Amino acid sequence: MSKSHWRHAQGVLTFGAKPLLAGILNVTPDSFSDGGSLPTVDHALRRAEDLLNAGAHLIDLGGESTRPGATAVSVDEELRRVIPVINAMHRRWPLTVISIDTCKAEVARQAIEAGASIINDVGGGRWDENMLTVVTTSGAGYIATHSLDRHHRQTIPADANPAVIVSDFLRNLSGRLIQLGVDPQRIIYDPGVGFGKTAEQNRQLLHAAPVWSGLERPLMWGISRKRFLAPDCLPADREPAARQIYRHLLTQEYPQIWRVHDVSASARSIATHPASC
């Protein structure tokens, strides 16, 4: 099975020697980094245009914050936030790849109908029993994420090897989808940095190259501005630490996609790193 292709509802993304970039577009009032910064569809479109112009290969759109302690929103409210943005983006840039960042099956289903082509399921199939059915029937690409309970109270045991725990979970989730008839080339993996892991476990995951190289699919890394990078800093001030880790990931030889807030800076890091030259 090829690791270089990721099939989604409207085509194929191809991985090369350099990571792909997923630009984060949050239309939420309470996301940890940029909540409330995009109050209208026009604001969201301008931000999406900036991300695409900076080199994003896809836009990852979220309508509900998944940070620890965030207030859950209803299906109707999440749909109210994301569907008009997807409709507007699809009209303006019909070839742009949009992933819907949601743990709700109904939101995923309607987002794919509106023009999104990838489901970024931070719940890893655990938080909504209908999610895997939507993945199976929609033809969407799927980002299988390792996470535990919805409120991040459950954690990986301190004496466990987090890379083994996470890789086993991702293989099992992928196996369930394949049994349901999902083409394995529609699936990529996200180790879920920051979801039910300590800061040290997050670091161990980032340095577990032999484990990730042994998996059959590409990996998405979502570390941008997360608290473990610099707990005492504001989210935007964590970017230098994130870029340092992303540059380390460039030395790991398996297909990757990075989920980032600052696409422009990430693209520059890739372009100027010796491994990319």
**Distance (Å, rounded) from C-alpha 36 to C-alpha 84?**
16
- For 112, 168, 217, 274, the CA distances from 214, given in Å and listed in that order, are 31, 12, 9, 24
- Catalytic status, residue 171: no
Residue 143 contacts residue 188 (beta carbons within 8 Å): yes
Buried b (16+ CB within 10 A) or exposed e, 236-262: eebbebbbebbbebbebebbbbbbbbb
Q: Give the residue among 117, 118, 121 at the shortest CA–CA distance from 129.
A: 121
**Distance (Å, rounded) from C-alpha 223 to C-alpha 228?**
9
Alpha carbon dihedral 141, 146, 149, 154, in 10-degree steps, equals -170
Identify the active-site residue in 7, 109, 186, 259.
259
- Catalytic status, residue 126: no
Tokens of 139: 């033809």
Q: What are phi and psi of 200, to 5 degrees?
A: -65, -40
**Distance (Å, rounded) from C-alpha 223 to C-alpha 183?**
27
**Distance (Å, rounded) from C-alpha 270 to C-alpha 250?**
8
Identify the active-site residue in 226, 227, 238, 243.
226
Tokens of 12: 């194929």
Tokens of 268: 């520059």
Residues contacting residue 274 through CB under 8 Å, at least 6 positions apart = none
Tokens 């929609």 map to which residue?
A: 138
Residues marked as catalytic:
226, 259
